[in-house]
Amino acid sequence: QVQLVESGGGLVQAGRSLRLSCVASGDTFYSYTVAWFRQAPGKERDFVAGLSWNDGDTWYADSVQGRFTISRDNAKNTVYLQMNSLKPEDTAVYYCAADFSPLNRESGRQPGLYDYWGQGTQVTVSS
C-alpha cells in the first residue's frame, strides 16, 4: 500500500509559478497511474493532470493545458506538478492521487477510481 505526501503549496501572486511535489512511500509508483486533483471551497474535486507511470503518457484538464506540467522522478519516487502563469481561479487545495489500475486519458480523470490520496496542499493565488 502506498502513502502519498504532497508539498510545495503556498501563496503567490497571479502570473507567478509554483511546483508541487508528491512523494510515495510504502511502495513505488511503478505501474501506477498518478494524478493531481484540486478542490476549491464549496466545489467538487476536479481533475488537473494525470500520468501513466508505465509509458509516461500525460493528460491535462483544459483549464490548465499549456500552463501546468506533470512529471516524474523515478529515482526519487516523486511526481511533480509545475504550475506556471498562475491565476486566482487556480486557488484550491491540491491533492495527489494514485491507483494501481492502468487508467487512461478518460478514466484517469475520475477521482472515484483512485484508491490512494495525499492530505493535500493549499495553493492560493492573489490578484
pLDDT score recorded for residue 69? 98
pLDDT score recorded for residue 54? 84
The residues that bridge with 18 in the sheet, in sequence order, are: 83
Classify 120 in phi/psi space as left (phi over 0), alpha (psi -120 to 50) or beta. left
The CA distance from 92 to 19, in Å, is 14
Q: How far is CA 92 from CA 20, 24, 126, in A?
A: 13, 22, 12
Give 77: exposed, middle or buried? Use CB within 10 Å, 0-12, 13-18, 19+: middle
Tell me the pLDDT of the chain averaged across its residues. Answer: 94
Neighbours of 97 (CB within 10 A): 24
Please, are residues 79 and 30 in contact by the beta-carbon 8 Å criterion?
no
pLDDT score recorded for residue 101? 85
> Which positions of the chain have pLDDT values less than 50?
none
pLDDT score recorded for residue 55? 87
pLDDT score recorded for residue 88? 97
Please, are residues 111 and 119 in contact by the beta-carbon 8 Å criterion?
no
